[in-house]
Structures are given as structure tokens and as C-alpha cells.
Structure 1
Amino acid sequence: MAEASFDRQRDFSGTRAPAGAVAVDGARLTAWMVRHVHHFSGPLEIAQFKGGQSNPTFLLTTPARAYVLRRKPPGTLLASAHAVDREFRVMSALDQQGFPVAKPLALCLDDSIIGTIFYIMAHVAGRIVWEPTMPGAGNEERGLVFDAMNATLARLHSFKPEALGLGDFGKADNYVLRQINRWTRQYEASRTDDISQMAKLAAWLPGALPPSRPARLVHGDFRLDNLILDADQPLIRAVIDWELATLGDPLADFTYHLMQWILPAAPGGGGIASLAGVDLARLGIPQLEAYASAYGLRTGFDPLPHLDFYFAYNLFRLACILQGIAGRARDGTAASSTAEVMFGQIRPLAEAGWRYAQKAGAR
């Protein structure tokens, strides 16, 4: 019964008092910010954002202005995960291009300040919409926000990494294969249950790869609730949560974003939101095919010919990501208080991924 009352907008919005292993030492942080953040002065109030970040994220408030701190979580972590220093680097490069990100201000690689590395960025005023149906919005606003999402991701994929100073931000070749191998390892490292479809996908995906495309900067988790919208207008003020950013296949990135249309509904409304089964026309939200075609026109990359493979791959990848969060919830180091809700979504994602793999020719 408790799950049925879960409300994403209510339960993921706002802040709470930091507690437990992720809490921040305010005095040590204040002293560091005085030295490293231009024009900073205290006193400092610290609150933790409720939303489901893999990297704990905090609102820092002073009498003059607000900041945001994003830290690597404490505890034993999966290899290459939670690299907030990479987030800082990619956001710094994009900020210089006028791409909508929160302005990065200072990076701390010294674990002794608050226990893990972290960075400080400017606070971006606006709203985060946790439901892709955008409850309370009008049809025109929904259409404009979805078009802005499409255009923003297309713009990201238009940058050549070398022009951003990010030519070495990742390996340019074999992105999807390397992702399959990476997430398979991380899934096994945090596995809490036996799911046959995960093993089938891990075995089938490497031999079914689509043709490779020019490497682009990929966000890795681009969706509505990783955007800060203007408080009053259908404009994107900042793209957030760059933890998974690297160089890779732009279509892998875009089709991950497309999964919002096809994801299995989450039990009780927690965890992942979905447009599956929604009357899109009634809400003014574009159909998947039209939305994908708009991206193709903007970028020259057509997502439709290999969509079943990409959906199988991305459902597998997302199941692996949630397994990592579930594993950290088990170990007591997950940032989101709803992390345990995500555990129940891993099997449905794996089952849906295998169905798309079968549509793409898997046996």
C-alpha cells in the first residue's frame, strides 16, 4: 500500500537535512570555499536535494547567493563510477560554448575536506519536472518543452569533441561494445538476484552491433528530470547530472532518451517514469517516431533503422545502472532514499530488453 502513494514530483522535489555518511562538514567546507570560490562568504546553510542523484547533491545557501555542491559518495564504489571531476571538466567546456549548464566554480580533489572529492557550481533558478507527462502544463507548453529537449540534445551531438578540448575525454571507437562490457562487469559486481534475461542480453548484444558513427560528446542520462526549466517559460536553463558523460555513439545517447516513451511502468510510481500507454496526442506530446525524425533532421543521424537493437541495449544498460544503485542501497551508501524502490524495476527492464532483442533477431 505504501508504494501506491508515491508521488515523484512531491517526493523527489525540494531538499532535506543531510544525514548519515553523506553529510557534509560545514565548517571545513566553508573554510575551503573562502579560499577557492570567488566572492564567497558565509555563513553557510547546507541541505541535500531529495531527487535520485547517484552523486549526492547539496544546496548551499549564504545571505548573498546560493551554490550547489556535488560530491562523490562515500564508501566502496564501482570502478570508474561517480567521477565528479569528469563532470566538472565537461561542464566547464560546455559553459564556454554557451551550452545550458550550471556554471562550474571550483573543484576539490582533496578527500580530507568533506571525505570525498567534490565540486561547486552556481545555483540555477528554475523548476525540475519529474513526470514526463508534465502534469498541470498546457499542450502548447508540453510541445515546446519536448522540442527544446530534442534541440538541446541535437546541439550537444553537433559539437566535435576536439573543438571543445575534449578529444581525450573518452575512447572514440567501439563505444557501444565498451559500454556493454562495462555495464556487464558492474552488474555482476553489484548483482543481488539471478535474472536470466540479463545473461541473455549480455551474450547477444556484442554480436549484434549496428554500424558505428562519428564519436560525439554523449550525456548518458538525458531526460526531462535532468533538466532545469525556466520557472515561467518552456526554456531549458541547464542540463544537469553529467556523471555518465563521455565520447561515444550519438544514437546510443539519443535512443536512451527515447526510452521515456517505451519503459515499463514503475511499480507504485517510484523510480523511473514512463510515457508508455499515455494518450500523447491528448497531451500535446510528440509521438516517438515524429520526435526521432526531428532529431534526425537536426543532426543527420537517423535513429529509426536500428531502434530495436538500441532499445535492447539501453534497457540492459539502465537495468545495470539500477542494479548498482540497488547494491549501494543494500550497502547503505545510496544517495536517494527511494533507491530500494528501484530494485523491483530491474527484472521488468531486463524482460523488456530481451523482447526488443528478439525483435532485432535474437534467438
Structure 2
Amino acid sequence: MDTMEVRTGDRLDTGNLQLFLQSQFSELPQEKLELSQFSGGHSHLTYCLKKGDVEVVLRRPLAKEAHTIKREFAILSALQPFFKAVPKAYVYVEDPAIIGSEFFLMERKKGIVLDTHFPNDTKQTEKLAHQLSEIMVDSLVELHAIPYKDTPLKKKGKPDGFMERQVYGWLMRYEQVKTTEHAEAVVLIDWLKKQLPSNKEATIIHYDYQINNVMFSNDYTEMKGLLDWERATVGDPLADVGVAMSYWMQADDPEMLVYALGQPSITTQPGFYTRQQFIQRYAEKSGRDISTIHYYCAFAYFKLAVICQQMYDGYIKGQIRDDRFAQMDKMAAVLIQQALTTR
């Protein structure tokens, strides 16, 4: 994953940071500290700190009120011994005196991140796409097999009533931001309430599992890193599958979904699993009953619709001034229709 020059508003005090690093890592090279920034991240800012041949990653909140950094550090610390794709978490710092906010340091994972296309030096084949699909499924199965009760996360998650809290929480959120009454939304909401699954199984779930949050090895034979753990929790594993499927685009999906972020996702290319193939392999590898998976997929699309509707609500109220958000109500409508089709 490439880095860029640190954006003006995101700069850090490298003097304080260098002193802190020297206090934490006794064998650091003497070279000057180099600071760069990763371009992604919606709730956290992510930096690469480099001294000589040593690199570590720093994560800090995007806003001072975003107190999820400590939680993410705890998740990484708990899971790394069980799941090798999790970056090692080194140290969490609550004191804002060093960089102006809390932060933590973690291992820098290196590998290939895929989003809309393969690197130019990769020979693209359907066999390769099939192989990557298998890795995505099998790694999710492996994650869900972690014995969470043997980790510190057993005290942090609230698996009982997970889906009920999720569904009614997102329904309330939709009611707060809807700008018009969609007949399709009324039908979907009624169905979500009436068909709430009774699955009581709980596992570690990533809850943002998508191909562009993954680092593959240079030969594409394994997952080297899985990133962005801020939504991870203990909950229904099929909810995690549903979220993954809402991001897993197919070439025959509605055009507005396929081109929602510009270029289509790499998963629309020949050889990648369909969602049905993904779900079927997950069932075979995990041994789980997937008879209600359509509910989880429909709910995941509904959540994306709510997020789009929230953006549109902010736009028409003047809170968001970017004209790209002027069509978000239409995107929300397409996602609601996709949810209805999926159920």
C-alpha cells in the first residue's frame, strides 16, 4: 500500500514523536524520522513512521471526539496471536501531549491491495481471480473460528441480542434521516422486523470485510494483512458474511451500484466468485446453516442505503456542500431495491 506526503491539516510534531519512539524502541536506527501518510481512512488517520529500515504505522482519530482508537488497539492485541493477518499492536498512548491526540503504533504490513484493477505487472487470469476469491472466503471462515471466549474480547462484546440491536438501531437511524417516504422502504422495513433471525451463535466479526481492506502476498497465494478493524466486535457471523456480500459487486448488478465509486470493483471481473459461490463455499468450509443468509444480505444493503440517505440529508440541510452528494437519495433508493431483490 503506497503512502503520500502528509496533508497540511494532518501534520504531526515529529520532534516529540522521535523522542517518544526512542523511549519505546531501544534499537532504532539513528537516521532522521520520515513521516508519510496513507490516503484511506474515514474515522482514523494513518501514518507510516520510518527510521532507516524500520517502519511502523501510527493510527490516530480523525476527530478529537472519536474515542475508538483504544478499542481498535485492544482488538488487534487480542486477535493477533490467533490470526496472522492481523497487524501486531505495539503501544497505545492516551496522553495527547505527544501529537495532540491519543494514538497507537502497530506493525506495518506489506503486500498487494486490490481495489478496481490488478497492478500492471500482474498477469490477470480467471484462475487467479478464482484463487483470490477462495482466499477471501477461507480467511473469513478462519476468522470466525477464533475461540473468542479465550481472548480478552469475551468481556467487550455483547453477543446476546446482537441482530435485534443492529436492526432496530439502523431502523431508528433511517427514520431520523429519511427525506421522503419510499413505498419500497416501508415494505423492506416491515419484512426486516418480522423476519429477524433467531441465530444465537457468536464469533469475532470484522464487519467491514471487503477486498480493498486486504493485503495479498506478492504471488497472490495468501492473505498477508487484514486492515481497518474499528468496526470489529463479537456478533453473529452471518452478519459479517452479509456485509461482505454487500461490498462484493458483480458485473450484472445495477449500474448505479457497480459505478458508485467510479470504476467498478475488481470483483466484477471474470473469474471472481459470484456472491452465491462465495456464500456456498463459506457454508461448506464453516459448516454453518446459511438458510437465512438472504436476510443478512438484505440488511447489509439496507445499512448502506441508510448511510447514503444520511449523506443526502446532510447535503440538503447545507451541512455537506459537495455536489456529489446531490444524488445520494437515488443511490439509497437503488440499495433499498437491491435489498428487496435479495430477501
TM-score bracket relative to the smaller structure: 0.7 to 0.9
Matched, 1:308 2:294: yes
Secondary structure in structure 2 of the residue aligned to 1:111: coil
TM-score using structure 1 length: 0.78
Specify the code of the residue in structure 2 equivalent to 1:104: A
Alignment check: 8 A CA contact 1:267 1:344 kept: no
Describe the superposition over 1:254-301 as per-residue Cα deviations: whole angstroms up to 9, x where unpaired: 12112213665458662795478x4x6xx2222322221110111122
Matched, 1:155 2:142: yes
Alignment check: 8 A CA contact 1:86 1:243 kept: yes
Cα drift, residue 172 of structure 1: 0.9
Inter-partner Cα distance in structure 1 for 2:80 and 2:166:
26
Describe the superposition over 1:98-142 as per-residue Cα deviations: whole angstroms up to 9, x where unpaired: 431111111112233222221111111211111278885222221
Specify the code of the residue in structure 2 equivalent to 1:32: F
Specify the code of the residue in structure 1 equivalent to 2:50: T
For residues 101 and 359 of structure 1, do their structure 2 counterparts lie closer, same or farther at Cα, with a shift above 3 Å needed?
Answer: closer
Alignment check: 8 A CA contact 1:312 1:352 kept: no
Alignment check: 8 A CA contact 1:255 1:311 kept: yes
What does residue 104 of structure 2 align with?
Answer: 119
Specify the code of the residue in structure 1 equivalent to 2:63: P
What does residue 8 of structure 1 align with?
Answer: none
What does residue 5 of structure 1 align with?
Answer: none
Secondary structure in structure 1 of the residue aligned to 2:165: helix
Alignment check: 8 A CA contact 1:326 1:340 kept: no
Secondary structure in structure 2 of the residue aligned to 1:56: strand
Cα drift, residue 47 of structure 1: 1.4
Alignment check: 8 A CA contact 1:183 1:321 kept: no
Alignment check: 8 A CA contact 1:187 1:320 kept: yes
RMSD: 3.4
What does residue 88 of structure 1 align with?
Answer: 73
Cα drift, residue 160 of structure 1: 2.4
Inter-partner Cα distance in structure 2 for 1:354 and 1:18:
40
Inter-partner Cα distance in structure 2 for 1:342 and 1:199:
20
List runs of 5+ in structure 2 lacking aligned partners.
none
What does residue 256 of structure 1 align with?
Answer: 243
For residues 272 and 118 of structure 1, do their structure 2 counterparts lie closer, same or farther at Cα, with a shift above 3 Å needed?
Answer: farther
- Could you tell me which of 53, 74, 80 is aligned with 2:63? 74
Describe the superposition over 1:180-235 as per-residue Cα deviations: whole angstroms up to 9, x where unpaired: 3444566677x5x7254597456653443112231111001001100111123331
TM-score using structure 2 length: 0.82
Specify the code of the residue in structure 1 equivalent to 2:20: W
Specify the code of the residue in structure 2 equivalent to 1:106: V
For residues 96 and 325 of structure 1, do their structure 2 counterparts lie closer, same or farther at Cα, with a shift above 3 Å needed?
Answer: farther
Aligned length: 331
Alignment check: 8 A CA contact 1:71 1:118 kept: yes
Inter-partner Cα distance in structure 1 for 2:342 and 2:129:
31
Cα drift, residue 169 of structure 1: 2.2
Alignment check: 8 A CA contact 2:243 2:297 kept: yes
For residues 341 and 123 of structure 1, do their structure 2 counterparts lie closer, same or farther at Cα, with a shift above 3 Å needed?
Answer: farther
- Could you tell me which of 39, 47, 62 is aligned with 2:36? 47
What does residue 290 of structure 1 align with?
Answer: 277
List runs of 5+ in structure 1 lacking aligned partners.
1-12, 333-338
Alignment check: 8 A CA contact 2:311 2:328 kept: no
Secondary structure in structure 2 of the residue aligned to 1:57: strand
Secondary structure in structure 2 of the residue aligned to 1:166: helix
Specify the code of the residue in structure 2 equivalent to 1:45: E
Between 318-327 and 51-60, report the one with greater CA deviation.
318-327
Inter-partner Cα distance in structure 1 for 2:278 and 2:168:
30
What does residue 7 of structure 1 align with?
Answer: none
Specify the code of the residue in structure 2 equivalent to 1:22: D
For residues 251 and 271 of structure 1, do their structure 2 counterparts lie closer, same or farther at Cα, with a shift above 3 Å needed?
Answer: farther
Alignment check: 8 A CA contact 1:293 1:302 kept: no
Inter-partner Cα distance in structure 2 for 1:162 and 1:322:
36
Secondary structure in structure 2 of the residue aligned to 1:68: strand
Alignment check: 8 A CA contact 1:270 1:341 kept: no
Specify the code of the residue in structure 2 equivalent to 1:316: F
Matched, 1:351 2:340: no
What does residue 214 of structure 2 align with?
Answer: 227
What does residue 29 of structure 1 align with?
Answer: 17
For residues 350 and 212 of structure 1, do their structure 2 counterparts lie closer, same or farther at Cα, with a shift above 3 Å needed?
Answer: farther
For residues 146 and 349 of structure 1, do their structure 2 counterparts lie closer, same or farther at Cα, with a shift above 3 Å needed?
Answer: farther
Cα drift, residue 331 of structure 1: 6.9
Describe the superposition over 1:147-177 as per-residue Cα deviations: whole angstroms up to 9, x where unpaired: 0110110011112211223212210112122
What does residue 223 of structure 2 align with?
Answer: 236
What does residue 61 of structure 1 align with?
Answer: 50
